[in-house]
Amino acid sequence: MAKIDGNSLVVRALKDEGVDTVFYLTGGPMVDVGARCIEAGFRTIDCRHEQAAAMAAHAYSRVIGKPGICFAASGPGTTNLITGVGNAFLDAVPVIALGGASPLSEVGKGAFQEMDQVAMFKPITKWSERVMHVSRIPEIINKAFRIATGGQPGPVYIDLPADVLYNVADESKVLFPKHPHSVARVSGDPAMVKKAIALMKEAQRPVILTGTGILWSGAMEELKEFVELSGIPFYTTPQGRGVIPEDHRLSFLGARNQAWKEADLAVVIGTRLNFIAGYGMPPRWAADLKIVQVDISDEEIGRNRPVDVPIVGDAKMVLRQLIEEGRGAFKGRKELAWIETLRGYDKRSQEKSAALLNSDQIPIHPLRLCKEVREFMDRDAIIIVDGHEILNFARQSIPIFAAGHSVNAGPNGCMGVAVPFGMGAKVAKPNTQVIVLSGDGSFGFNGIEVDTMIRHKIPALIVVSNNGGWASVGGMSAGRDLDFSRYDKMAEVFGGHGEFVEKPQDIRPALERAKASGKVSVVNVITDPKARSATTAFANYRAI
């Protein structure tokens, strides 16, 4: 009988699930998994830090719409994955993380790098499991993919002990689930769909709020059709932006705060009522707000606030039901007076920020940098934003026009994602412009991955908003200063392209030169250290 070892089974199982790209850092006992991936024709991106490998897999997954794969050596290699995997968990992204482990035969003896890695990952994954026998590797990897992509997506962790990887099994006795599984499409309760449409028809100030559930279910066209059928203005979470182009006639980005406060009905589809949505509670929303909530996970329905119409189901399927039910209900409907109110709020917001967007001040205001990036980017560009001040300024000034093309730190607020996210996004869509907009503090976490991007010819454009510190002056009382370092020189050292910009009129030419270089580029822009964005103060989280 033909024999096959665990390393080969891991790669064969991944290939059977449609995997062709992995992010990793080599080391025992996973060295031969990496070698087999190369032999199998995978694109293998060896990173400079395991955290970056997990983060790149995260962005790759979000942009391409299927699980991202990362793996690492045992001990500190695997524990270095934890921040990236935890970030994917809070962001509900299906990352498959594989970690090498000390041998099963030496458990409890004080083996090299022996620790309970499975227990470490359990609180930050949908499933964490150790493979105990070589013949079960394909079965467990298949289960990992099913769990990661089923219901509300999320990461999983598989622990691979050294003696399992290097043991052999009779190939004829190994169960190979040959084809990637399909994700079930669950429709909503028809009675609840009717009730939802009735509420929407009665509402005078309705809004639609969506999240990444629209992306994972592929419901972009259905959402657009329903928005236009119902005439209800829409908002998205930061990670769910672009599902409908944000220059749509029912998009009023500058009116978000007022829209949420004054709405009498919120139709929440594929997103959680977490802190991003103000928990669905006052003062962010009205106390008497009615809520229709659609979610694939029944655990999310009514979380933090009771809802009037709960619909458990896949966003795509439920939106199709809402469209069908709404055809008659919304036929001949005139534009709500509410729309003109939001249009006015939006216009005043734009007028308020116009001066800073066009400012010629030196040091450069971050909003002027955002404007230059906005005017430079392709319509379908993928925008990665990371940091504090620049994250908030970019959110309010750079529109997104393509689904899944807005990626940022997410609900974990995980700084340092910029460069690895840009790497993962560019690998996922190599022919799409990828612009990384990072604060200088955030860039420092994983900026060394510029080397990885150069080695693997992953030419994302990195723009650093360099205000010389972790936040604006006055934003924190200790440990703020970083100096105005020459991050552009770092790119040049590794063979990339660097630009240093101090004047606003020089931003666009620098971006154009970076693009023309065809290389990984770092455009280092000195921005005003006193420019402070509005965000929730940490004091609001303290016990009283």
Q: Residue 210: left if φ>0, alpha if ψ -120 to 50, beta else—which one?
A: beta
Cβ atoms within 10 Å, residue 111: 18
CA–CA dist 472, 228 (Å, integer): 41
- Beta strand pairing call for 3-5 and 168-170: antiparallel
Predicted pLDDT at 537: 45
Contact 260, 285 (CB under 8 A): yes
The mean of the pLDDT values for the chain is 94
Predicted pLDDT at 541: 37
Classify domain 358-526 at the CATH topology level. Rossmann fold (3.40.50)
pLDDT tens, residue by residue, 115-161:
999 999 999 999 999 999 999 999 999 999 999 999 999 999 999 99
Give the position of tokens 């020089």: 506
Omega into 459 within 30° of 0, i.e. cis?
no
Tokens read off for 298? 């029944």
Q: What is the DSSP string of 84-118?
A: HHHHHHHTT--EEEEEEE--GGGTTTT-TT---HH
Candidate from 103-117, 410-424, 461-475 with smallest mean pLDDT: 103-117
Tokens read off for 198? 């009735």
Predicted pLDDT at 106: 80
CA–CA dist 178, 389 (Å, integer): 48
Predicted pLDDT at 1: 63
DSSP H helical segments within 332-376, as ranges?
Answer: 337-357, 366-376
pTM: 0.95
Instruction: Give the type of residue at 297.
Output: S
Domain ranges within the chain, ordered by starting residue? 3-173, 190-335, 358-526
Q: For residue 495, what are the CA distances in angstroms to 438, 449, 456, 498?
A: 20, 13, 12, 9
- Beta strand pairing call for 382-386 and 309-312: unpaired
Does 49 have pLDDT greater than 80? yes
Tokens read off for 316? 């795509």
Residue of 344, 351, 350, 353 lying closest to 259 (CA atoms):
344
3-state secondary structure of 531: coil
For 172, residues 6+ apart whose C-beta sits below 8 A from its C-beta are 1, 2
pLDDT tens, residue by residue, 269-328:
999 999 999 999 999 999 999 999 999 999 999 999 999 999 999 999 999 999 999 999
Contact 461, 433 (CB under 8 A): yes
CA–CA dist 201, 329 (Å, integer): 7
Query: 465 phi and psi, to 5 degrees?
Result: -85, 100
CA–CA dist 42, 11 (Å, integer): 9
Tokens read off for 168? 């052999």
pLDDT tens, residue by residue, 370-424:
999 999 999 999 999 999 899 999 988 999 999 999 999 888 889 999 999 999 9
Q: For residue 406, what are the CA distances in angstroms to 51, 112, 242, 400, 401?
A: 21, 42, 7, 7, 9
Predicted pLDDT at 123: 98
Does 497 have pLDDT greater than 90? yes
Give the position of tokens 């300024």: 393
CA angle, 248 as apex, 245 and 253 as ends, to 5°? 85
Tokens read off for 372? 């230059």
pLDDT band (50, 70, 90) for residue 535: low
Does 477 have pLDDT greater than 80? no
Q: CATH top-level class for 190-335?
A: alpha beta
Cβ atoms within 10 Å, residue 404: 24
pLDDT band (50, 70, 90) for residue 543: very low
Burial 128-164 (b: 16+ CB within 10 A, else e): bbbbeebbbbbbbbbbbbbbbbebbbbbbbbbbbbeb
Classify domain 3-173 at the CATH topology level. Rossmann fold (3.40.50)
DSSP H helical segments within 203-285, as ranges?
Answer: 213-217, 220-230, 256-262
Q: What is the DSSP string of 289-329?
A: -EEEEEES-TTTTTSSS--SEEEES-HHHHHHHHHHHHHHH
Instruction: Give the type of residue at 78.
Output: T
